[in-house]
Amino acid sequence: MQVVMVKSDKDRVKKVTKLIRLAGNQIGSVRFVKRSDGTRRRMSFRLHVTEPTYAPQPTGKRIRDRKAKDRKNLQMTVFDVNKINYNHKGRMNGRGNWRTIPLESVTRVAVNGEIYKIMEV
């Protein structure tokens, strides 16, 4: 396990974004604290997912608009590979859906066989 020291929230966002992008097209894992209720969450994610058949694309007319919104809100949109989707009859439709990660509250990132623990100085 490698420890990544951060000085501020801005520094944390920058370093966590870099670590998450290291995953490339592979599956990675992230631990963070949810903004809405303060609970700890774990998520397995994947980047560069283009057209899953059962999960609609994130809202927004263009990818550029979504990325600008993510930067403004200090978050990153990823494909959560473990979220189970159900159809209107309650049957399992597939696995995976789009989620956002709040970058300022990430505590751990695992990508490419390496685990990075994020700690403040």
The whole-model pTM stands at: 0.85
Using CA atoms, how far residue 73 sits from 5, 8, 10, 15, 37, in Å, is 22, 16, 12, 16, 17
User: What's the mean pLDDT in 80-88?
Assistant: 89
CB atoms within 10 A of CB 61: 7
**pLDDT tier at 54 (50, 70, 90 boundaries)?**
confident
61 pLDDT band, cuts 50/70/90, is: low
Q: How confident is residue 60, by pLDDT bands cut at 50, 70 and 90?
A: low
Domain segments of the chain as ranges:
2-120
